[in-house]
Structure 1
């Protein structure tokens, strides 16, 4: 029966159909030949109506069984255009699904029992059709058409193939009655973690969330959307632009892409700060702090802080190029700052310095100052004779006092990082020239983005250079943490007329492959960023990725512990699956067993030779709500969601379908086409050293011609 009993069994033949057939035949007999049942015409109509009502009830019960069996094998299509994505001011739409309860664990366990195998696994006709398609792949045309007929995706085809989603449809089919699964927007400040292996729908889930974030309006204002995409997904870029244009926000759409600097916006990661020491923290924080490297990182922090303070006093905005230039040659900055300082405080001091410089020679220069410019030595001698106190000048003075060789050694760990951030055209993006009015590429910073409620796509081109992408992404995260701290203290309109410290707006940060971008500064972002309105949605494959990036299991656990919402798609690592399953309770489920036995009689003269006994026993067993094996077997586009204080939901996301009006500007179309051409799966991108096909763009044409002539055996032309 379909109604509830102590032991629910929906996976069985629909025996109610027998009753439906009998009721239908009896009702027809009452109407056609009432005399055969000794009924008057009036009484026959009433009897037929009673049979039909009872048959309808049994048909309704049979439909529950048939629908359940159908969904166990094949789920109905679930597609949605981006225009149809529901956008709520109160909740975030995730997909369709159901709240997982103990009864679903009971139903799932039943599907693994041998007696129900024929109702769960594909039919023999289905398996035969798939084997036939494989055998007829290279057959002549008449037979090949037969294979196309079996592959016809229509309800009229009894052996049509399953959607290419893999996994076990039964994980979602055990509950045919789906509802919309949503997350209250108030829960998003608790941060959200999305885990899933390669090509199972993480980026498509990100598109679903980003679409809603771009189009959502709260109190008449849009929300800030910032997306970090290390690999470079063209479909994600297109989705963001289309949704921004659809929401009337295309004027607030920024694209920052390291792989295409000619059309990318520009960004100075150290140009804006609340305290000057933040510049040194953002740069030196990316250096290793383990073991002996910790001391070198502290030295690097100190010298960068000295340089940054001097640049600000000179009225210059710090950037990576300026800091690299002065780390390599700090003498020039020392002389420039001393000239300005003495011109402001002691105009006659410079004449004495020039006289001291004229008297210097190789014998009179102190040992620790050998290799320095004579003017630097002269300034140092003057300062040693005159009591002048200036914190910036004293810092520069202590730096130039070091032996030149020793100084180069203690900043040796800093120079490779600065080289990564200032090589080639990337320097134009990360150290923009603010005075160049002929450059059409916009310059942005996070405070400006937040005040404008803008949409930002950050493509880090990790396929070409993972080291540079990680360094840039880390700098952006560090800058964003600093801005969040400023907003938490002063609000987003600090310094503007009518500013209010109580104003908070949602700042939606989506970080794909976030383990490759994070550092120590990511922990305070997910831990304390909610107070400034930052809502982080992080996407990665496994827990091991986070631990390998941080290099410390305790810190990796600290990061994971700050995510209140967990969405887990299919994963391949058991430890990652256990992050979900270990947080779930055990439940009691009913188990049925058949017990049969026979006992011989010991009385040879008795009336019975033996007695038999058959029992159906119902017992309870304590089992986990779900097992790690179930997470490993999820189809593509499906996930388990642990949200709203530990409630477990089973969700499937809608498959995207294109809209005919989705168009992009010509330059973004070209960028998206190149990104599609060179896209590499997330599980392989770190093995790539450069994008295929980009070598020809970065080498001169004559060098390429010489290389091709050498490859063919011809002598290169001169």
Structure 2
């Protein structure tokens, strides 16, 4: 309705309908009895058309008032199946809504006035029906009456309101809803979603993840879920199948080790020192713990360098074994290294070892293996320049009791990551080809344009979930740095069917405050250059501050999120994160004025004067108050998008999926994954061109058959494989 008056009033009786009824009656009279108005039939038709058009216009105005009043009590139902969610190559769909402007603040202010309460509160009949439900609940004979009163049907005049709570007026202030989109170019600035428990954060995540999976560009989708929500995992699996990306879907779940893929958080690195950084970064660095953290970094770095030099891939289990028994690592490394420098080194070491006893072993080497003591005494006589060997020697020179105290802070962390069946997932056996669970790393996932669900099962074991999540984040930060420097392909041939260049890596982090550490700040600071687009979900600002331990760092993290979506929150400080960024607007208020005054002139016939009227004034108020954010219904949110534009949105309710072969539970997912998972022993075939198969002429094969089989090592040409011989091509 166009605003043509100083005050817009929509919470009032729909008086326009009176005019509409009169106009329609006049139109009927002019059409069928023009003589009653002294009109000719031809003129009556024209007058009827005029009355009808004016009546319809007024009826439309009255309908707007009725619809506005209806929405104040109950919003129209908005529900979609997942396959009905729109997918765009340019935008991310967030839901239905409108851009919040000053007129909406004015309408919200009007809905909170006492004289409009009758249009906002549920009707008396509705309140009576709810009262009867509560009173008759224990009367079994009236069970049918209760069912009829509580039926969620449009035919029920006292249909219960949806259990979303909040104030419907926050969305009802605009009756013209449109689709709300976030341009994909803005996502690289990262998005922060805040909302208290059970208000729709997971539903919003499902809406966005569904679009990321179905987008034609085959974006990388990674979802971190500390709770390990099985419904979210099933949803991602269903959407991956629908999008034809079932072979690209991976599950890493600490609660379902039977279907979980395997992952080595320290197995891929650009520099070997990254291994020590990822492990020591999870130790406390406050106060006196800083020195122990630095020593843990140095010791893990020594161990990792040694294993790398031995041609072995680092893993948590191997690092824990080396921490507990550093002597064995020194012996193994010395056996491989010393003979390269001095062929007779081990003979000399054996002689020294045979002469050792408890009396001639140095005090600092007490408790060490005698062979370690012999190696150390040998190296004191023969100088060998090897930095890895020198690092191992410096570690074993510590007194063993003192050494165990220093590494005591490191052992609990490593034991969290290597206890039980979790060790199978985090320290995978690369030689076990019988295990169908694949092994993945982030570099591989990004090149393959994969979809990964990470369930950490924090409700069962919070400590292990936090340690694993931190490890994955640290590894992802390292991968982002590598992509930023060398690109996604890094000189390798691109995967068939995928375009080269920057890849959008959509990182969805539920309860991300439980996962983040100091490494998360550079990820959101500089991760955009590597294509990482973070969508973080949390409850309050205090969660972030408590996890980091510094208000300044918490502000630094929040300041890197350009887009803010805020659902209902319970903390006023969190609500002010939104409201304090909005400008103030003028709200018109009406004041009734009545004045009277007497006349002191005795000669005048006027004894007193009086006047009355309405005074309209404008008062500057905030566009939104923190109380408005606290009063949001479930599934609704305010969003600051594209440089501070405020949008009011609501998400669709989920409808049951339709179709065949839709997984209903974890078992269905497990069966589907067992049929799709591969061990990856021939991974190179996915990234390398097909080999050129050489087929020699028939006469060549016949003439050379005998010569080939008489060779010392039998080689069989393609197409001529015999039992017991291996095929050869290329």
Contact 2:238 2:663 in 1 (8 A): no
Partner Cα distance (2:388, 2:140) in 1: 84
Once the two structures are TM-superposed, the CA of residue 158 in structure 1 deviates from its matched residue by 2.5
For residues 339-386 of structure 1, the C-alpha deviation after alignment (integer angstroms, 9 at most, x for no partner) is 110122212111111111111122211111111111111111111122
Alignment of 1:308-387 (within 5 A): 308-387=304-383
Separation (CA, whole Å) in 2 of partners of 1:669 and 1:203: 22
Classify 1:498/1:151 alpha carbon distance in 2 versus 1 (closer, same or farther; 3 Å): closer
Once the two structures are TM-superposed, the CA of residue 491 in structure 1 deviates from its matched residue by: 1.0
Cα deviations across residues 9-45 of structure 1 (Å, max 9, x unaligned)?
2222111111111112222222333222222222222
Contact 2:594 2:612 in 1 (8 A): yes
Native 8 Å contact 1:213 1:225 kept in 2: yes
CA contact (8 A) 1:228 1:457 kept: yes
C-alpha change, 1:302 and 1:191, in structure 2 (3 Å) is: same
Larger deviation, residues 606-615 vs 591-600:
606-615
Which residue is equivalent to 2:676? none
Deviation track 1:295-331 (CA, whole Å, cap 9, x = no partner) reads 1100000000000000000111000000000001101
Aligned to 2:98, what secondary structure does the other structure show? strand
3-state SS in 1 of match to 2:337: helix
Residue number in structure 1 paired with 2:504: 506
Q: What is the CA-CA distance between 1:519 and the residue it aligns to?
A: 0.9
- Cα gap change, 1:436/1:672 in structure 2, threshold over 3 Å: closer, same or farther? closer
Give the conservation status (yes or no) of the 8 Å contact 1:490–1:501. no
| 1:618 aligned partner | 616
CA contact (8 A) 2:213 2:243 kept: yes
Deviation at residue 156 of structure 1 after TM alignment: 3.2
Contact 1:133 1:150 in 2 (8 A): yes
The superposition leaves residues 250-281 of structure 1 with CA deviations (integer Å, 9 ceiling, x where unpaired) of: 11111111112122111000000000000000
Q: Of 524, 527, 535, which aligns to 1:526?
A: 524
What SS class does the counterpart of residue 176 from structure 1 fall into?
coil
Are residues 1:283 and 2:282 paired? no
Q: Hey, what's the Cα distance between the residues in 1 that align with 2:667 and 2:231?
A: 11
Residues 663 and 669, structure 2, Cα contact 8 Å, conserved in 1: no
Deviation for aligned residue 1:51: 1.1
Q: Is residue 2:55 matched to residue 1:59?
A: no
Q: Would you say 1:450 and 2:450 are equivalent positions?
A: no
CA drift at 1:664: 5.0
Contact 2:234 2:669 in 1 (8 A): no
Name the counterpart of 1:228: 224
- The alignment status of 1:96 with 2:92, answered yes or no, reads no
CA spacing shift, 1:371–1:223, aligned 2, 3 Å: same
Q: Give 1:596 deviation, angstroms.
A: 1.7
Partner of 2:506, secondary structure, is strand
257-266 or 168-177: which moved more?
A: 257-266
1:195 corresponds to? 194
Q: 3-state DSSP class of the match of 2:408?
A: coil
Aligned residue for 2:159, secondary structure, equals: coil
Moved more, 69-78 or 278-287: 69-78
Query: Residue 581 of structure 1 corresponds to which residue in structure 2?
Result: 579
How many Å apart are 1:524 and its aligned residue? 1.1
Say if 2:34 is the partner of 1:34.
yes
Measure the CA separation in 2 of the matches of 1:667 and 1:177: 39
Q: Select 2:397's aligned residue among 395, 401, 406.
A: 401
Query: Alignment RMSD, CA only?
Result: 1.9
1:138 is displaced (CA, Å) by: 1.3
Superposed CA offset, 1:554-576 (max 9, x none):
11111111111110000001011
CA contact (8 A) 2:16 2:59 kept: yes
CA distance 1:671–1:291, shift in 2 (3 Å): farther
**Aligned with residue 649 of structure 1, among 628, 647, 650:** 647
The TM-score with structure 2 as length reference comes to: 0.89
Deviation, structure 1 residue 53: 1.4
Report deviation, 1:148: 2.1
Give 1:590 deviation, angstroms. 1.5
Partners of 2:423 and 2:491 lie apart in 1 by 30
2:185 maps to which residue? Answer: 186
Unaligned runs of 5+ in 2: 672-730
Match of 1:128 in 2: 128
Distance 1:600 1:132, change over 3 A: farther
SS in 1 for 2:265: coil
The aligned runs of 1:207-606 (5 Å cut-off) are: 207-218=206-217, 222-497=218-493, 503-602=501-600
| Aligned residue number for residue 692 of structure 2 | none
Mark the CA change 1:158 to 1:339 in structure 2 (over 3 Å): closer, same or farther.
same
Partner of 2:705: none
Give the aligned partner of residue 678 of structure 2: none
- 2:81 and 2:63 map into 1 onto residues whose CA distance is 30
Contact 2:234 2:663 survives alignment (8 Å) = no
Q: In the alignment, which residue of structure 1 is the partner of 2:139?
A: 139
Over 3 Å counting, the alpha-carbon distance change for 1:440 and 1:672 in structure 2 is closer
User: Does the 8 Å contact 1:577/1:628 carry over to 2?
Assistant: yes
Q: Which residue of 1 aligns with 2:45?
A: 45
Contact 2:590 2:615 in 1 (8 A): yes
Q: Is the 8 A contact 1:78 1:654 kept in 2?
A: yes
The verdict on how the C-alpha distance between 1:565 and 1:498 changes in structure 2, with shifts beyond 3 A counting, is: closer
SS in structure 2 of the partner of residue 464 of structure 1: coil
Q: Name the CA shift for 1:667/1:109 in 2 (closer, same or farther; >3 Å).
A: closer
CA shift in 2, pair 1:403/1:165, >3 Å:
same
2:230–2:666 contact (8 Å) kept in structure 1: no
Question: Secondary structure, in 3 states, of the residue corresponding to 2:274?
Answer: helix
Shift of 1:5: 2.6
Indicate how the Cα distance of structure 1 residues 501 and 120 shifts in structure 2: closer, same or farther if over 3 A, else same: closer
SS at match of 1:411: helix
Cα 1:308–1:622 shift into 2, 3 Å: same
Matches within 5 A, 1:150-189: 150-189=149-188
Matched residue SS, 1:523: helix
Where does residue 85 of structure 1 map in the other structure? 85
Deviation of residue 206 (structure 1)? Answer: 0.4
Cα pair distance change 1:664/1:280, threshold 3 Å = farther
- Give the match's secondary structure for 1:190: coil
Take 1:670 and 1:541, find their aligned partners in 2: how far apart are those partners? 32
Q: Could you tell me how far 1:669 is from its partner in structure 2?
A: 3.1
Describe the shift of the 1:428–1:664 C-alpha distance in structure 2 as closer, same or farther (beyond 3 A): farther
Q: Which residue of 1 aligns with 2:684?
A: none
Distance 1:627 1:53 in 2: 43
Q: Distance in 1 between matches of 2:179 and 2:484?
A: 34
Q: How does 1:663-702 map to 2 (within 5 A)?
A: 663-664=661-662, 668-669=666-667
CA distance in 2, matches of 1:224, 1:497: 18
Matched, 1:11 2:7: no
Q: Which residue of 2 aligns with 1:23?
A: 23
Which residue matches 1:697? none
Q: Is the 8 A contact 2:341 2:384 kept in 1?
A: no
